[in-house]
Amino acid sequence: MNSVYFDNAATTPLRKDVIHAISEVMTTHFGNPSSSHSFGRSSKALIEKSRKAIAQSLNVSAGEIIFTSGGTEADNLVLNSAVKDLGITHIITTKIEHHAVLHTVEKLQKDCGITISYVDVKPSGHIDYNHLEDLLKTDAKTLVSLMHINNEIGSVLDIKKVANLCKLNKALFHSDAVQSIGHYNLDLQDIQVDFVAAAAHKFHGPKGVGFVFIRKNSGLLKPLIVGGEQERGLRAGTESVHNIVGMEKALLLAQANLEKEVQHIKELKGYFIDTIKAAIPNVSFNGSSNDFDTSTYTLVNVCLPIDPKKAAMLLFQLDLKGIACSKGSACQSGSSQKSHVLSEILSDEDLEKPSIRFSFSIFNTKKEVDYVVDVLKTFAL
């Protein structure tokens, strides 16, 4: 049976060099980084080397990078502390954010009484920038939380434009950049965002590690997890040295090979779009996921003209054929509810049709695209 992994927006396979780096650290640098003896100092030195390298890759200072368990923790740290410690009373976001943001903001509204404003989202999956500008005209102390790239439909936010709007209106700006770090070059001196969340497993690094960028002078955040002084007092708990080093290795490799790998994945996505349109003429694309100018090159979200009876078990049937893909965020896997992202941008009629996200990586091939489209064709015809 063929085996095709087209769910890279959920997680990516590790590069061999990353596995080697992790294995080496686990073998030779097992000391607790908080210990004062030589074993601990060598582990601590590796962490600080990784912090410096990651900071340099984003054009920021090492002190602005705090290691976390991933993007969800990073989002939670920023949003919770912004309200509880920085005095934020108003959060502007959208209804198509990742649930790491949406659920956190909803809980803060319930627990702390903050006001939430939702920016209008167009059928393309992009925000209405004029509406955002209107929402920013308030006397309330405001934080804007908008993801750089939507994880389900791939719409790309003009992150620099939003950062400038926030500065102009004296609002803080947080962006979940989990789908863009490692896939785009971000210069955070040029883009004046205050807080950025990232996760290593989205760019061929290990799971269970990520980081949050906290711009100097954006405000004194306080830890979400307490019990130690690690990570400059912002994240208690013994650091996962091997994972941090693995994340550094993955990010540096991604950036070193970015131009070549972007070209490969762009060609693959374009080939997928052309092939599926030829095979299934009535297929449509959700949001602007088939538009390279306004959507990320890494994924496409398709709406398939399939009989509802066949569609009910489509993902299961694809899995039996060795094809890994998804109907949306992996965090919602197993849920019977429709995608909250697609519910915001699709008509009721299109929501009844099966929509699938296919996301690509450097390890995928055109031969795999041919196989997947051939299988999909048997359901659509």
Q: DSSP string of 25-79? A: HHHH--S-TT-SSHHHHHHHHHHHHHHHHHHHHHTS-GGGEEEESSHHHHHHHHH
Taking the C-alpha atoms of residue 71 and residue 97, their distance in angstroms, rounded to an integer, is 13
Q: What b/e readout covers 1-20, taking b as 16+ CB neighbours within 10 angstroms?
A: eeebbbbbbbbbebbeebee
pLDDT in tens, 207-263: 999 999 999 999 899 999 999 999 999 999 999 999 999 999 999 999 999 999 999
Taking the C-alpha atoms of residue 200 and residue 210, their distance in angstroms, rounded to an integer, is 5
pLDDT in tens, 97-147: 999 999 999 999 999 999 999 999 999 999 999 999 999 999 999 999 999
112 is catalytic: no
Q: Helix 99-112 and helix 71-84: axis angle, to 10°?
A: 20
Which of the pair, 329 or 303, is modelled with greater confidence?
303
pLDDT in tens, 140-187: 999 999 999 999 999 999 999 999 999 999 999 999 999 999 999 999
Confidence of residue 2 (pLDDT cuts 50, 70, 90): confident
SS3 247: helix
Query: Is 16-256 a domain of CATH 3.40.50.620?
Result: no
Marked catalytic residue, from 112, 166, 303, 331: 331
Residue 204 contacts residue 13 (beta carbons within 8 Å): yes
CATH fold of 4-12+258-380 reads Aspartate Aminotransferase, domain 1 (3.90.1150)
Confidence of residue 328 (pLDDT cuts 50, 70, 90): low
Query: What average pLDDT does the chain have?
Result: 95
Taking the C-alpha atoms of residue 190 and residue 184, their distance in angstroms, rounded to an integer, is 14
pLDDT at 332: 47
Q: Which residues make up the CATH 3.40.640.10 domain(s) of the chain?
A: 16-256
SS3 302: strand
pLDDT at 381: 65
Residue 190 contacts residue 168 (beta carbons within 8 Å): no
